[in-house]
Amino acid sequence: MRITDLDITDVKMIVPKKFGDARGYFCETYSKQDFAEAGIEEVFVQDNQSFSASHGTVRGLHFQVPPFAQSKLVRVLRGSILDVAVDLRHGSPSYGDYVSAVISAREGNQILVPIGFAHGFCTLEPDTEVFYKVSAPYSPAHDRGVSWIDKDIAIDWPVKPADAVLSAKDLALPPLAGLPDRFMPPQ
């Protein structure tokens, strides 16, 4: 398992080792021991999976506030996405900055999005399936979001707003400015 930092250090790219043979391949997609050896102590309590039929589907930017704030380990079972994490940790020097990376079923790579970040993605292919582990259960009362096209974050998405597929909820998400809920200060 290869673990590297993205431009915001706490967001990590994880590439499990693939064991290929004439049948195909095998890989351990999650290992508590490997994570602990890399200093990642996340305890995941729920697995999520979403299917998006159209390329250019955007889900996000979402997060849950404490005490149900979630870290997420995101991977793609089919297709590919541009995955995005936005730093919302109150007091963080990179507050409001984002990192993004393409993760795909072909590469088998994963993104670890820590607590304190909003998360979203845009599908790059039709029929894309995303699987992710989260470190806290779903709590609608603690679910929050920020507009995917917030001007202060200014994410370089691979789809124009007019062509993107979003839920009504995500279309109505507020801007970052004046976000009422703040996370705990960075560790």
Would you name the residues annotated as active-site residues? Answer: 62, 132
What are the structure tokens assigned to 85, written together? 């994490």
CB of 167 to ligand T46, least distance (A): 5
What are the structure tokens assigned to 118, written together? 């909003």
Residue 186, CA distances (Å) to 4, 12, 52, 116 in order: 20, 16, 33, 8
Tell me which of 12, 55, 59, 89 binds ligand T46, using CB under 6 A: 59
DSSP state of 141: G
* Residue 139 interacting with ligand T46 (CB under 6 A): no
* Residue 114 interacting with ligand T46 (CB under 6 A): no
Q: How far apart are CA 133 and CA 144, in angstroms?
A: 18
**What is the residue type of 18?**
K
Binding mask 4-43 for ligand T46 (x = CB under 6 A): ----------------------------------------
* Residue 148 interacting with ligand T46 (CB under 6 A): no
CB of 17 to ligand T46, least distance (A): 26
Q: How far apart are CA 136 and CA 176, in angstroms?
A: 23
* Residue 133 interacting with ligand T46 (CB under 6 A): no
**What is the residue type of 34?**
D
Residue nearer to ligand T46 on the CB measure, 26 or 138: 138
Q: How far apart are CA 171 and CA 142, in angstroms?
A: 19
Q: Which residues bind ligand T46 (CB under 6 A)?
A: 48, 50, 59-60, 62, 72, 119-121, 138, 167, 169
